Structure 1
Amino acid sequence: MRLFLTSLLVLCALCGRAGVFDGVGALAAADRMARVQDIYNKEVRYKDSVTAIRSLNELTSIADKLQDKPLQCLAVSLLADQYARTRGINPLSTKLHNDAIKMAERFRLPLMVGLCTHRLGRYYYNFKNYPFAFEYMLRADNIFRELGYDEVPDIAEILFFVGSTYYEMGDYERAESFLQNVQKQKKIGKYVQKQSLNTLALIHRQQGDTVNALLYFEKTLAASVKQDDPVWMGISYSNIASIYFHQGRFAEAYPLLRTSTQLSLTHKQYPDAYGNLLLMARIEILQNRLQQAQQKIDSAIALQQYVNTPIARKQLYEAEVLLYEKTNRQAKALEAQRKLLLVKDSLSISKDQQAYQKILLRMETERHLNDIDKLEADARSSAIKRNAVIVVLALLVLVLLLLYNRNRLKARTDAAALQAEKLRAEEQLKNARQLLQNFTENTRQKNELIEKFSAELQRLKGNLTGDPLYEERLKNFDRLVHSTILTDTEWNSFRELFDKVHKDFFTRLEQKLPGLSLNDTRLISLVKLSLNNREMARMMGMDENAIAEAKQRLREKIHPGQDGLGLEDLVQAI
C-alpha cells in the first residue's frame, strides 16, 4: 500500500511538473527565439540527456501548438545539438540539422535557412570536420549577405566565430575580412567586441604590421576601460607592452606590465601575470637592475603551479639565461641555455607540426570548397541552360499568342467590316427600292394627270371647235399627251435605280435574250415591276393595244410556241 502511494505521489509530481519552456507561449512571437536560446544555454544544454531531450520535445510541442514556424525549426536544430553533445558526430544529429534546414526552406524562411545552415557548420567544426564546417558556414554567410546583416540576430557573434576559425587556420586575409565586418555591426556583445579587436591586432602582429597591431590593441584597451572590464584591461596592457618591449621602448612598456600584473593577480589570471613578470625581469636585466630582476623571476617561479606549458618554460629560461650571464654564473647559465634549447626544439617541432596540419587542413578545405563551387557552377550552368530553353519556349508561346490574338482581332475586325458593309448594302438596297417605288409612283401620278388632260382635251374638242386660239392650245396639248414619258435621261435614271433593286437583271436579260430593242428592254423592266397595261402605255407613250401586242411578241421571243404561259411569269424567271 505504501509503495502504491509513493508511486502515485511521484506520478502526480511528474504530471504537475512545470517545463522550462512553459512561459515561451506567453511571449510575443518576435521575442521567443532569443528567450528559447537563452533557456537552452542556461537550463537545458548541460543537463543529463534524458532531461534535456524531454525538455526539447516539450519545446517542439509548444512550437507546433503555437504554429510558430521559426520556433519549430529552432527546436529541431537544438535537438540535433543535444544528441551531438552525448553521441558526438552521429547520423541522427546530422539528419536533424538537415531536417531543420529543409523545414525552413519549406516554410520559406530564408533567415532560418541561414541560421540552421550556420548551426550545421558549427556542428561539423566542433568535431573537427573543417571542410564541411567551412562549406556550411560560408553558405550561411551568403544567405546573410543577401538578406542584409542587419536582419540577422547575433550576426556579430556569427561573423566573429567564422573569422576566428579562419584565424586558427592561419588564413589571416579571410579572418580579417570577417572580423572587420564585426566592427561594422550596430549591435555587438561586449566580449565579441573586445575579442574581435584583439584578434585583429594579433593578425597584424603575425604579419609584422606593428603599427596596426598597436592600433587594435589600443582599441581593445579603450573598449575594456569603457566596459570596466579589469581582466581585459590587464590583457590589453600586456599586449601593448609586448610591442613596446620588442621596439626597445622599455620605459613605456614597464609601467604597463606592472599595471597588467597587478590586475592579473587580483583577478587570478595567473598565466598573464607569469608572462608579465618575466618580461619585466628581462627589462630589469637590460637596465642592470639585477636584484629586482631576480625578484621578478622568483615571483614568476611561484606561479608555475598555474602555468605549465612549453611556452611558459621558454619564457623562464630566456630570463634566467640573461640573468645568469649578467651575474657570471656560467654553470647555471649553461644549464638554463640547455633547457632553453630543448624547449625551443620541442616548440619548433610542435610549431612545425601545427603549421603542417594547418597547411593540410587549408588544402583539404580549399579542395572541398572548390569541389562544391564546381558542383554549384555546374548546377548554375544547367539551370541557365534550362532557363534559356524555358525562356525560348515562353517567347514562342508568347509570339503564338500574339499571332493568335492578332488573327482573332483581324477576324473580328473583318467580321465587323463585313457586317457594316452588309448593313450599308441593305440600306442602299432599301433606299433604291424606295426611290424606284417613288419613281414608279410619280410616273403613275403623271399618267393620272395625263388621263385627266386627255378627258379635258376631248371635252375641249367638243366645245371649242372653230376657235383659232383654242385650236392652237389643243394642238400643243395633244403633242404633250402623246409625247414619250421615258426619255433617255429618265430611262438612264430609272435603269440605275432598277439595277440596284434587281441586281444584274439587265445583264442576265442580255445573256438570255441578246439583241432586244430598247423598247423591249423597257417593257420587260416595267413587267418586272408588275405594272398594268395602262400604266405601261402611259410610261412608254403607247396605247394599251400596242402594249398588249408588244407583250405577246416578247413572250414569243422568250418561249416561242408555249401557249398559256404569261409574259409576267417568263420575266420573273429571268
Structure 2
Amino acid sequence: MTAKASFLCARHFIISFFFIAFYSFNSLGCNFSLKPQSTVSDSAISEYIKAIYENDIEVLPLIEALECLKKFDNAIEKQYDITPTIKERLFLNRGNLYFHNDKVDQGESVLLEGSKYFEEENLPIQRCNLLIRLGSHFLGRKNYPKAFEYLFKLEDVLNQIGYENYPDVSRFMEYISYACIQFNDLDKAEYYTDLAFNLPFTSYRSEINIYNNKALILKAKNDTNASLYFEKALDIATEEKDTAWMGILSGNLAYYYLLKKEFAIAESLLITDTIYSKQTGQYNSIWSSQLGLVSVFLSQQKNQEAFELLMQLKKKPTIQKKTNLTHLKDYYRFLAKYYENTGNFELAIRYADSMNTVKDSIYLSNEYLRIQQLEDKINTEKHLAEVKFLDEKYEHEVRLRNTIIFSSAAGLFLLGILYWQYRLKRNKEKQMLLLRENHTQELLSNSQDQLEKYISNVKEKNKLIDQFKADLEGLKLSKEDKKEAKRDEIRGQLFEQSLLTDEDWSEFKRLFEKVHPGYLQRLDEKFPQLTFAETRLFVLHKLELSTKEMASMMGISPSSVRKTQLRLRKKLEIVEQTDFTKLAQEI
C-alpha cells in the first residue's frame, strides 16, 4: 500500500473515533457535539460515511481503496449499532467503488447481496434504494435488459408497499419512463410520467426530468402540447438556476418555435442552449443547438451566416471522423439546403446524395435490430417472471396435496419398500459392472504379461544367436576339416532358434491382439497391399523391437530387415524422414 493510502486509512480510524465522541458535525450543517448514537440521526451518520467515501476512498486505486474501505467499515461497525440506513450506505459504498472502477459484475454482486439481505430482513425501503441504484447504473451504461430487470423488481416491491410510501418514488418514475422512451414504448412511458405527477417529487431535478420525459413522449407522438411541458421544465430549471437543464430545455423548446416559424424566439433559445451547453460540457447539446441555428438562418435566407456556422462545424471531430451519423446527416442536409438557396444545384445534389448515403447507413445499421431484440428479451423476462409466479403457486398446491397423501403410514411404508428395492437393484448393477471391469482388466493384464514373456524369450534367443554366430566366426578362423561338422551343428541350432514358424506367429498374433485390439484390422484397412512378411514387420515395429530382434524373430539377417524396410517405404510411398516405428505406433 502506498504512503498516501496508509495515511488515509489511519486518518479514517482517527476521524471515526473522534466523530463519535468529540467532534461536531458542521460539514453536515449540525451544530451539536457528537454523543452516543442515540443523539445522532442515522441519516447524518450515513451522509458522513458517504462523504468520507467520496472524498478520500473513491479517489484511491482499487486495491488500496478496497483495503481502506474495509478498515473504515470495521471502525464504523465497532462504534455503532448498524441500523438499516447505515447498513445500506455500507453496501452502496462498496458497490459504487466497483462501479467507479468499471468492475461492473463485482459491483452488481455486492448490491444484489444487499438487496437479498434487506429482503430477508423485511426492509423494503433499503432494498428499493439498492435496486434503484442498480437500475440507474445500467440505464446509464445503456444496458437496457439489466436496467429493466432491476427497475421491474423495484416496481414489484413498490406494488407491495405502495408507491406513496417510497420516499424516492419520483426518481424511479424518472428512470422507468426514460427507459421506456428509449424502447419507443411511449404509452408505457406516458403511464409512468402521469403517475409521477400524482406523487410527491423527491427533488427539483426529478421534477424537471419527469416534465422533460413527458414532453419528449408528446413530441414523439407529434402532439404540440409537448411545448407546454418543456416550458414548465424550463421554468423550474430557471428558478433553480440549473444552467445545464436551462440549456437543454431551451434547445428542446426551440424546436416548436421553429415549427411555428417564430424564428427570432427559436434563435434566442438556441443561442441560450449553446451558451449553457458550452459551460457545462454538453457537447451533443451544443451540436444540436448549432445545427438548429443553421436551420433558422437557412429558413430566413441568411445563407452567409448559415454557411459560416457550417464551416465552423466542419472542423469539429464529429464531422472529420464521422463519429456521429445523425449529426453528419444533418450537416449534409443543411449544406445541400445552403447550395440550393444559393443556386449551386450541382453541389446541392452532391450533398443531398451524401445525406442519403448516411441516412441509408443509419437505417441499415444493426442498432435498431439490437434494441428490438433487447425489448423482446425484456418482455420475455417479464413474462417468465409472471409464469414463475404461477408455477410457484402451483408448486405450493402440489406440496400441500403431497403432504396429505404421504401422511398415511401405508404410503410411507410403500415408498420405503420401493426405494429399498431400487437401491438394491442399483447396488447389484454396480457390482456386476465392477466385476466385468475387473475381469476385463485382469484379462488385459494377463495378455500383457504373456506378450512380455514372449518378447523376453525372443531376447533370450537373441543372446543364444549371438553366441552361435560368435562360435561360427571362431570356427571360420580354423582350417581343420574336423571343424566342419561343428559348424553344421551350430548352423542348425541357429536356424532352430531364429525361425518364427506359422504356429509361433499364430500364438504371437493371439497375444498381440489381446494387448493391442484391432491393430491388425486397422493396419489392413490402411495398407491392404501388405504381404504376410510386411505385416509382421509392422507388428514388430509396434512392439518397438530392435532391428536385430526383428531379424531373429523373422529368421533373416538385420541387413535383410533393413532392405525389407526400404522396399516397404518405396511400396507405401513413405518419405525418408518418417520414422518407421513412429508410423507403426500411430496406426
Q: TM-score range by the shorter chain?
A: 0.5 to 0.7
Q: 1:163–1:176: 8 Å Cα contact kept in structure 2?
A: yes
TM-score by length of 1: 0.57
Q: 1:238–1:257: 8 Å Cα contact kept in structure 2?
A: yes
Q: 2:215–2:230: 8 Å Cα contact kept in structure 1?
A: yes
Post-superposition shift, 1:345?
A: 1.8
Alignment partners' CA distance in 1, 2:4 and 2:253: 60
Of the three residues 195, 211, 235, the one matched with 1:197 is 211
Q: Deviations over 1:409-464 (max 9, x none)?
A: xxxxxxxxxxxxxxxxxxxxxxxxxxxxxxxxxxxxxxxxxxxxxxxxxxxxxxxx
Change (3 A) 1:168 1:47: farther
Alignment partners' CA distance in 2, 1:337 and 1:117: 48
Post-superposition shift, 1:218?
A: 1.0
User: Which residue is 1:346 aligned to?
Assistant: 361
Q: Is the aligned partner of 1:328 residue 2:343?
A: yes
Alignment partners' CA distance in 2, 1:364 and 1:319: 39
Alignment partners' CA distance in 2, 1:84 and 1:260: 31
User: Which residue is 2:488 aligned to?
Assistant: none
Post-superposition shift, 1:66?
A: 1.7
User: Which residue is 1:244 aligned to?
Assistant: 257
Alignment partners' CA distance in 2, 1:304 and 1:127: 23
Of the three residues 154, 161, 167, the one matched with 2:175 is 161
SS of the residue corresponding to residue 67 of structure 1 reads: coil
Q: 1:60–1:72: 8 Å Cα contact kept in structure 2?
A: no
User: Which residue is 1:17 aligned to?
Assistant: 11
Q: 1:278–1:315: 8 Å Cα contact kept in structure 2?
A: yes
SS of the residue corresponding to residue 17 of structure 1 reads: helix
Post-superposition shift, 1:158?
A: 3.3
Change (3 A) 1:128 1:195: closer
Q: Give structure 1 stretches of 5+ with no counterpart.
A: 1-6, 392-574
SS of the residue corresponding to residue 186 of structure 1 reads: coil
Change (3 A) 1:187 1:34: farther
Q: 2:5–2:60: 8 Å Cα contact kept in structure 1?
A: no
Q: Is the aligned partner of 1:276 residue 2:289?
A: yes
Q: 1:217–1:240: 8 Å Cα contact kept in structure 2?
A: yes
Q: Sequence identity, in percent?
A: 21
Alignment partners' CA distance in 1, 2:226 and 2:241: 22
User: Which residue is 1:219 aligned to?
Assistant: 232
Alignment partners' CA distance in 1, 2:376 and 2:5: 57
Q: 1:121–1:134: 8 Å Cα contact kept in structure 2?
A: yes
The one-letter amino acid paired with 1:135 is E
Q: 1:131–1:369: 8 Å Cα contact kept in structure 2?
A: no
Q: Deviations over 1:348-407 (max 9, x none)?
A: 223xx222112110111111121111111222344467789999xxxxxxxxxxxxxxxx
User: Which residue is 1:378 aligned to?
Assistant: 391
Post-superposition shift, 1:242?
A: 1.2
User: Which residue is 2:70 aligned to?
Assistant: 57
Q: 1:281–1:319: 8 Å Cα contact kept in structure 2?
A: yes
Q: 1:131–1:365: 8 Å Cα contact kept in structure 2?
A: yes
Post-superposition shift, 1:336?
A: 1.8
The one-letter amino acid paired with 1:192 is S
Q: Is the aligned partner of 1:44 residue 2:57?
A: yes
Q: Is the aligned partner of 1:176 residue 2:190?
A: yes
Q: 1:73–1:101: 8 Å Cα contact kept in structure 2?
A: no
Alignment partners' CA distance in 2, 1:269 and 1:11: 34
Task: Using the TM superposition, name which of 329-338 and 175-184 deviates more.
Answer: 175-184
Alignment partners' CA distance in 1, 2:134 and 2:175: 13
RMSD: 3.8
**How many residues are paired up?**
380
Of the three residues 69, 80, 88, the one matched with 2:103 is 88
Alignment partners' CA distance in 1, 2:10 and 2:56: 19
Change (3 A) 1:252 1:117: closer
Change (3 A) 1:136 1:21: farther
Alignment partners' CA distance in 1, 2:284 and 2:109: 42
User: Which residue is 1:290 aligned to?
Assistant: 303
Alignment partners' CA distance in 1, 2:268 and 2:141: 43
Q: Whose Rg is larger?
A: 1
The one-letter amino acid paired with 1:97 is L
User: Which residue is 2:122 aligned to?
Assistant: 108
Change (3 A) 1:21 1:298: farther
User: Which residue is 2:113 aligned to?
Assistant: 99
Change (3 A) 1:365 1:306: same
Alignment partners' CA distance in 2, 1:133 and 1:274: 28
Q: How does 1:73-84 map to 2 (within 5 A)?
A: 73-83=88-98
Q: How does 1:300-311 map to 2 (within 5 A)?
A: 300-301=313-314, 309-311=324-326
Alignment partners' CA distance in 1, 2:6 and 2:298: 73
Alignment partners' CA distance in 2, 1:154 and 1:113: 12
Of the three residues 72, 92, 100, the one matched with 2:87 is 72
Change (3 A) 1:111 1:272: closer
User: Which residue is 1:530 aligned to?
Assistant: none
Q: Give structure 2 stretches of 5+ with no counterpart.
A: 21-33, 35-39, 405-587
Task: Using the TM superposition, name which of 124-133 and 148-157 deviates more.
Answer: 124-133
User: Which residue is 2:421 aligned to?
Assistant: none
Q: Deviations over 1:493-551 (max 9, x none)?
A: xxxxxxxxxxxxxxxxxxxxxxxxxxxxxxxxxxxxxxxxxxxxxxxxxxxxxxxxxxx
